[in-house]
Amino acid sequence: MNRTLLIAMVSLATYALLNVAVSAAVAFVWRLKVRASGAGVSPARRAEQLVWLRALPVAAALMLTALVAIPAFSIFEPRGTTEEPGPLLIALALAGLLQLAAALWIATATAARTYTLSRRWLRTSVPLEVDPPAGVPAFVITTAAPIVALIGVFRPKLVAARTVIDACTTEELLAIVAHERGHLRARDNLKRWLMACAPDALRWTKVHQEITTAWHDAAEDAADDVATGAGSMARANLAALLLKVARLTPEASWPAAAVSPFVEKDGLRRRVGRLLTPPGAPRPASRMLAIASAAAVIVVATALSSPALMKGVFEIIESLVALGR
């Protein structure tokens, strides 16, 4: 096998092996500590923490593969090699390729569904005029379902059904716009899309759904805080508005991941209860992810600065290539 193809197989196999290992570590940490560590942390900080936790298997596997494994193998593998890979390396490379292909398929399909849904909603839309302006492209749409949502990945748009517009006062519309603006500023639709198509082993486990659900709840709470600030009256008014819009909105299944609806009945009780409870003083968020990130950077920097360590990495990879041959 020529050297370029062998390096490509090593890259895929290393990525697959590393992201399985980091996914297992993330699942362990989630079960052990992070799942129960959100009490008292501000929703915006909690959402940020969960995004980084969910991204860790992909980020760590990519960084270690690109900055340590590939350079080590490229430097020490003799040029002109005709080495044949063993069955374990082939299996791991196929696993890595399947992970990346599945992620690409999910990303493409989700983006296509989002685009189709957006076009259908916006085909007969008119601009939504509010004062002050929405700060995001906003449209009134004609649809059987009374929908209010931020839709799109890279250029999100706020859409609101005519039935909702007619049922709400100007102050209520401004509260809806402020909530969705919170999602826009946090780029929540992009984060939702990236988590939905993460190319790692974690996405096939229950932990993936638990982390993304916890992130979704935190992102909704953070957007509620943007819409209300610390005012108890504004929080009570938003709670009443959520109930009002929920009564208009049927149970909906969203065919695209890149949608942030104003109300989802699954989380309605929790959101209303939180808004009607006086907020406590937020405590500092856990530093576990910052420590893990710093440790990963130190490992990479140490490997890159140590020829002996890079040689050791090469020997491990070489054993993997030859295993079972």
One pLDDT digit (tens) per residue for the chain, 325 residues: 677 888 899 999 999 999 999 999 899 888 886 655 555 678 888 899 899 989 999 998 998 898 888 888 888 877 766 677 788 889 999 999 999 999 999 999 988 888 888 888 888 888 888 766 667 888 998 877 778 888 888 888 888 888 888 888 888 888 988 898 899 999 999 999 999 889 999 988 999 999 999 999 999 999 999 888 767 888 899 999 988 888 876 555 555 557 777 878 778 889 899 888 876 655 555 555 566 666 666 766 676 667 777 788 778 878 877 765 5
Tell me which DSSP letter residue 38 carries: -
Task: Quickly count: other Cβ atoms within 10 Å of residue 150's Cβ.
Answer: 24
What's the predicted TM-score (pTM) here?
Answer: 0.85
Q: What is the pLDDT of residue 222?
A: 92
Q: Strands of 259-261's sheet, edge to edge? A: 126-127, 138-141, 157-161, 148-151, 259-261
Residue pair 26/207 in contact by the 8 Å Cβ criterion: yes
| Domain ranges, ordered by start, for the chain | 3-322
Are 177 and 139 in contact by the 8 Å Cβ rule? The answer is: no
| 183 exposure class (CB count in 10 Å sphere: 0-12, 13-18, 19+) | buried
Q: How many residues does the chain have?
A: 325
The dihedrals phi and psi of 233, each to the nearest 5 degrees, come to: -65, -40
Number of helices (H), then strands (E), belonging to the chain: the values are 12, 5
